[in-house]
Amino acid sequence: VLIPHTSGRHAHKRFHKSNVPIVERFANKMLNAGRRKDKKTRTGRGAGKKLRAITTLRRTFEIINFRTGLNPVQVLVTAIENAAPAEETTRISYGGMAYPRSVDVSPQRRIDLALKYLSVGAVRSAHKNAKSFEECLVDELLLAYKSDPGSFAIARKEERERVARSAR
């Protein structure tokens, strides 16, 4: 079994994170530590433990393969495609006033946002839940694979795009 671990080889050059395998990038997103306002992300216990994240991802892929019979990496890639927002808003200052303005999202940022939404959605659904984190991650990936609004990632993507449409 190959373990996706490039040891930070692509970290020092701009845009070279696109050379990192997508499975490893997703495992890295699951390592995020800290809190952002009211959103619960990984804190302390899971932060920095990459082998644990890769093991969790491997178990998740086994469950996806057992449940659906599909290639789990293809399920992950399709879930990322479905969860990636196409446009968002930015603040434009014009004459001393700041206006929200709709802008297209770069391909690199689309993937980063989709990975973040999938990871945070799984962590949120596993919080104070009897289900294991792997089961919650499987549910999140399969809902995003089907573009179901019950997925946190799809709901967040649609919310961002709705705000961007209103700011055109």
Q: How far apart are CA 24 and CA 132, in angstroms?
A: 21
Nearest CA to 20 among 92, 29, 53? 29
Cβ of 134: how many Cβ atoms within 10 Å?
A: 20
pLDDT, mean of residues 140-157: 95
Per-residue pLDDT tens digits for 12-50: 888 888 888 999 999 988 887 555 666 655 566 667 788
Locus of tokens 């399920």 = 75
**Confidence check: pLDDT of 62 > 90:** yes
Q: Please, what's the b/e burial string for 73-110 (b: 16 or more CB within 10 A of its CB; e: otherwise)?
A: eebbebbbebbbbebbbeeeeeeeeeeeeeeebeeeeb
**Confidence check: pLDDT of 150 > 60:** yes
pLDDT, mean of residues 44-66: 87
Q: How far apart are CA 54 and CA 71, in angstroms?
A: 17
Q: Does domain 16-166 have CATH number 1.10.455.10?
A: yes
State the pLDDT at residue 7. Answer: 82
Q: Give pTM, 2 decimals.
A: 0.87
